[in-house]
A and B are shown apart, each in its own frame.
Chain A
Amino acid sequence: MPALPTVPLVDESTRESTREAVGVRELHASEVPWITIVWNDPVNLMSYVAWVFRRHFGMDAATAQRRMMQVHTEGRAVVAEGNREAMERHVEAMHEYGLWATLERSPR
């Protein structure tokens, strides 16, 4: 999965001088991380879901298996993180595969 951006979100209460000192810059809206979530459904085969994760996200077999089991047992799993456009593309790809996926802002 893509790593988080190294730039932290800005705390509005942070004093300007401190922010300058540590080199913090405000994140543009397009940089705020979003996540792609895959939801459990009783239809799609476990073998198929794990294969889709390997194929589309390039996950290794163990990671894909773990994420698939997380969807299965917890009802959902975060499968990608990044900017909104990238997450929309992932969601669309998951829908093409018949998986139930949504995107939302990453909780912080």
Chain B
Amino acid sequence: MRGFIAVDGGFEALVEPEEARVLTSLAAQLQSLLGEAADDEALSEEDAAVARLLPDAYRDDEDAAAEWRRLSRRALAERKAGFAARFAAALAEATAASETTRILIDEAGGLDWVRAIGDLRLVLAERMGLHDEGDEPSEEDEGAAELYHWLAWMQDDLVGVLDAGWGE
């Protein structure tokens, strides 16, 4: 993958088919998790990744936290599923391609991407048991760790171009 550069109409990257397939698969898993979580509040207690994707808004006030969950949790899950869906949609062509594909996203698309990528990293971190500052992935999580670091690179890269575009 070649990182994003600002072009007319947005930001452009070059993605390999295999990379696009991996990202699309991750996005589909994220959408499915969020879809389940939207309908099932108890999933936040069973799955720390869900609790991290859809955190409580109140820390020391359980009544207010419960009210917040009742009013806002589902919509937040749906918006996040939307970020992941649009992220995957932008990759659809590259996923089906047999050669390096040019991807063009606008600023709104860029926001979908950084958010979806961030959510994927939150889930991967939970799955690898990274809870505290300085926790490192174990050796058997090598594959996930590689994805986790690749996504970090991608998010950082995108923040850089969005930032540059923002001031224009």
Chain A residues, CB < 8 A from B163: 51, 54
Bound complex: CA A40 to CA B133 (Å):
9
User: Chain A: how many interface residues by the 8 Å CB criterion?
Assistant: 24
Q: Contacting chain B: which of A7-15, A24-32, A97-105? A: A97-105
The binding surface of chain A is classed by DSSP as: mixed
Given contact pairs A42-B132, A102-B56, A97 touches B115 in the complex (Cβ within 8 A):
yes
Shortest CB-to-CB span from B58 to chain A, Å, is: 6
**Residues of B62-116 contacting chain A, CB below 8 A:** 68, 72, 76, 79-80, 83, 114-115
CA distance A3 to B68 in the complex (A): 26
Query: Which one of A37, A92, A100 contacts B76 once the chains associate, using CB atoms below 8 Å?
Result: A92
Inter-chain contact A104/B60, CB cutoff 8 Å: yes
B-facing residues in A28-71 (Cβ within 8 Å): 37, 40-45, 47-48, 51, 54-55
- The verdict on B8 contacting chain A, using a C-beta distance below 8 Å, is no
Chain B: minimal CB distance from A11 (Å): 24
Apart from A41-B52, A43-B122, what are 12 other A-B pairs with CB-CB below 8 Å? A42-B125, A42-B135, A43-B130, A47-B159, A47-B160, A48-B156, A98-B53, A98-B121, A100-B52, A101-B55, A102-B59, A104-B58
